[in-house]
Amino acid sequence: MIVDDIDFAEITQVDPILENGNEPPPHPLLNPDSKHYTMVDGVEAIERLEQMYSQHELAIWAKITAMKYRLRMGHKDGIHKEAHKIETYEAYYKYLEDKING
């Protein structure tokens, strides 16, 4: 997708509070301790992606990314670090699926 194709009028932020008044589950990919994902304007990279792509597109990306980490397990980082990445992307996939399915 090219940025020019985005209808910025349709972009919505992640709901800060659900309709029933409960706090939403924590965002699996937001990590305030990882400053290298913060862009020049202070926005996290994943937040920018959420502005640019649909939840469905991001769910597919998260599912594929989790599988990528599974397939290369033990070939890049330590097993525990890679397992954590898999859990994180699978949690993000579930987070999005829950939002998509209501």
User: Of 89 and 31, which is predicted with more confidence?
Assistant: 89
Amino acid in position 77: D
Mean pLDDT of 2-31: 51
Average pLDDT of the chain to the nearest whole number: 77
Q: What is the pLDDT of residues 54-97, one digit of tens each?
A: 999 999 999 999 999 999 988 888 889 889 999 999 999 999 99
CA distance 98 to 52: 19
Tokens representing residue 98 in the block: 């829950």
For residue 34, how many C-alpha atoms fall within 13 Å in the half-sphere facing its CB?
A: 8
Report whether pLDDT(37) > 60. yes
Q: From the CB of residue 49, how many other CB atoms can be counted at a distance below 10 Å?
A: 13
Model confidence at 51, pLDDT cuts 50, 70, 90, reads very high
Q: From the CB of residue 95, how many other CB atoms can be counted at a distance below 10 Å?
A: 21
Residues of 26-45 as b/e, b for ≥16 C-beta within 10 angstroms? eebbeeeeeeeeeeeeeebe
Report whether pLDDT(99) > 60. yes
Comparing CA positions, the residue from 43, 24, 27, 38 lying closest to residue 91 is 27
Percentage of the chain beyond pLDDT 70 is 75
pTM (whole model) above 0.75: no
In angstroms, how far is the first alpha carbon of the chain from the final one? 26
